[in-house]
Amino acid sequence: MSETDDSLECGSCGETVPFDDARRTKTMGGLDPTTWQTLCCPSCGSRLETVFVGE
């Protein structure tokens, strides 16, 4: 598996969030939580990105 150094920039508070520090939550809208997770800003809780985590 490839490591990622990606970071995400929060549009709400301006924080740069390392990918691994982003909060992972279930997606809104009924996507399978074992396949899709939503990454949220740990500072303000805004949604950053929805990522595919399935195999």
Least Å from the CB of residue 3 to Zn ion: 24
The smaller minimum CB distance to Zn ion, of residues 12 and 34, is found at 12
Binding site for Zn ion (CB under 5 A): 10, 12-13, 15, 41, 43-44, 46
Strand order in the sheet with 36-40: 23-26, 36-40, 47-52
Least Å from the CB of residue 4 to Zn ion: 19
Least Å from the CB of residue 5 to Zn ion: 20
**Euclidean distance between CA atoms 26 and 12, whole angstroms:** 20
